[in-house]
Structure 1
Amino acid sequence: MKLEEYRHIAVEGPIGVGKTSLARRMAEYAGGQLLLEKPEENPFLGKFYEDIRRYALPTQLFFLFQRANQLQDLTQIDLFTKTTISDFLLDKDPLFAGLTLNNAEYELYRKIYRHLQPEAFTPDLVIYLQASPATLAERVKRRGSSYEKNISETYLWRLADSYARFFHHYEDAPLLIINSEHLNFVESEEDFALLLRQVEQMRGPREYFNFER
């Protein structure tokens, strides 16, 4: 199935893995609609990376409402007119909450999440990008975002592990798992062509692609 034949593709992965860059490239290639997270709109995010314990709940709730609203808007779009590419999956949202919230906060979050969850639209394909925590840390540092400057490599290790655990059990949509350690989908036409080929060759509910130069 060709990229432009999908209605909705979600690109996922931990911070620094390149999911937003890939989503942009795919939307441009398919002539589709782009649906992106907007971390710069979260007023708590910078403070969160300075003091995770204190700002975890407001940061998480802001993102939850933001993503739910975006996906609700998606349900109003004629999904048969063009492909929509997003750089987030609402089903993954509790992953961050489980890393940062205490028990009482997490229970409150779960109640709100369960209320919003039915509004989520299940993608036709999820692309999960992987990379080592050391690579994630290097990429985060290189892009120089002001609100990410205080992210620790320890947090990235925990996050990468949580993503791996989440997608190990994920079955809601077809899943393509890609090790992006040695791939550059934005600057390399060859690498992007490899990705397109993997998408077109998807046959089962879960496939893996591990490329080494």
Structure 2
Amino acid sequence: MAEVPFIAIEGPIGIGKTSLAKKLAAHFDFHLLKEIVEENPFLGKFYDDIDEWSFQTEMFFLCNRFKQLEDIERKYLTKSKAVIADYHISKNMIFAKRTLQADKFEKYEQIYHILTKDMPVPNMMIYLHASLDTILHRIKLRGREIEQNIKPTYLAQLAQDYEDYMNEFELLHPDIPVIRINGDNMDFIRHQDDLNKIIDQAHRQLKTVVSTRTKA
């Protein structure tokens, strides 16, 4: 039986994950799963004082993403309905490792593994990355008030954390294709040709994912 397509898009803050997810969901007619961001009541305080508000912020995100994926599995994937998400729940660990103190991270990690043990896993990843200048420019363009206090040093560290994570992800999950998109060279929002290139790559990988699982 063929596996239901479940695509996750990842990358640093402001890189364009949601914008790309919307465009691909519309093209492929997949259900769009968007992460809850601005609804997090701790996020503004977090950007003002990371040490003080990191645990509350990360726990809110973890619990909401757990609930979202639980619903997605029940309402879509188990009914053979394809899904594209603008995040992968493992991003929680990227942020937690960067922001939480050791004692709190240990508690958080235990909760994370309990909640995600049986969660559905994407069978394709799209990784968006770019230079710090591009990331800062895009954050400014979208104009979220709560993001205007993000320190460039934090964003630079986060971008490197994502790069390290994705390199490790490809080693640990060789069966899950990863499409890497350089945001410095491609602007899929303003240029249709760039979007078409991403769509073509996704088409090819989807055929591979489905045919491989069918033969298995």
TM-score, length of structure 1 as denominator length: 0.89
Aligned residues of 2:12 and 2:162 also touching (Cα < 8 A): yes
Q: Please tell me whether residue 180 in structure 1 is matched to residue 183 in structure 2.
A: yes
1:11 is aligned to 9
Conserved 8 A contact 1:72-1:119: no
Say whether the 8 Å CA contact 1:30–1:83 is kept in structure 2.
no
Alignment partner, residue 196 of structure 1: 199
How far apart, in 2, do the equivalents of 1:204 and 1:81 lie?
A: 17
Alignment correspondent of 2:66? 68
- Note the C-alpha offset of 1:70: 0.5
Query: In 2, distance between residues paired with 1:29 and 1:164?
Result: 28
Q: Provide the residue aligned with 1:35 in structure 2.
A: 33
Q: Deviations for 1:168-189, whole angstroms, at most 9, x for unmatched residues?
A: 0103322111112121222322
Per-residue CA deviations over 1:127-162 (Å, capped at 9, x if unaligned) read 001101121111111211011010011011000000
Structure 2 unmatched runs, 5+ = 210-216
- Paired residue secondary structure (2:185): coil
Whether 1:24 aligns to 2:22 is yes
Match of 2:75 in 1: 77
TM-score with structure 2 length normalisation?
0.88
Question: Residue 70 of structure 1 aligns to a residue in which SS?
Answer: helix
Q: Which moves more between the two structures, 136-145 or 192-201?
A: 192-201
Other-structure match for 1:132:
131
Give the 3-state SS of the residue equivalent to 2:58 in structure 1: helix
Distance 1:115 1:42, change over 3 A: same
Residue 81 (structure 1) shift: 4.3
| Contact kept in structure 1, 2:4 and 2:80, CA below 8 Å | no
Query: Does the 8 Å CA contact 2:13/2:135 hold for their aligned counterparts?
Result: yes
Give me the whole-angstrom Cα distance separating, in 2, the residues matched to 1:112 and 1:33. Answer: 28
Distance in 2 between residues matched to 1:17 and 1:139, nearest whole Å: 7
Shift of residue 84 of structure 1?
A: 0.8
1:113 corresponding residue in structure 2: 112
Q: Residues 204, 27 of structure 1: CA spacing in aligned structure 2 closer, same or farther, 3 A cutoff?
A: closer
Deviations 1:170-209 (A, max 9, x none): 033221111121212223221111111222333989xxxx
> SS where residue 193 of structure 1 aligns?
helix
Which of structures 1 and 2 has the larger relative contact order (alpha carbons within 8 angstroms, sep 6+)?
A: 2
Equivalent position of 2:214 in the other structure: none
Partners of 2:4 and 2:198 in 1: CA distance: 15
Deviation of 1:93 after TM superposition, in Å, equals: 1.4
Between Structure 1 and Structure 2, which shows a larger proportion of helix residues?
2
Percent identity of the aligned residues? 39
Per-residue deviation, 1:78: 3.7
| Residue type at the aligned position of 1:28 | A
Does 2:99 correspond to 1:100? Answer: yes
Aligned equivalents of 1:187, 1:135: Cα separation in 2: 14
Q: CA RMSD in A?
A: 1.8
Q: Does the Cα contact within 8 Å between 2:130 and 2:183 map onto a contact in 1?
A: yes
- Residues 19 and 82 of structure 1: CA distance in aligned 2, closer, same or farther (over 3 Å): same
Instruction: Report if the CA contact (8 A) 2:76-2:83 is conserved.
Output: no
Structure 2 residue 94 is the aligned partner of structure 1 residue 91: no
- Name the CA shift for 1:161/1:18 in 2 (closer, same or farther; >3 Å): same
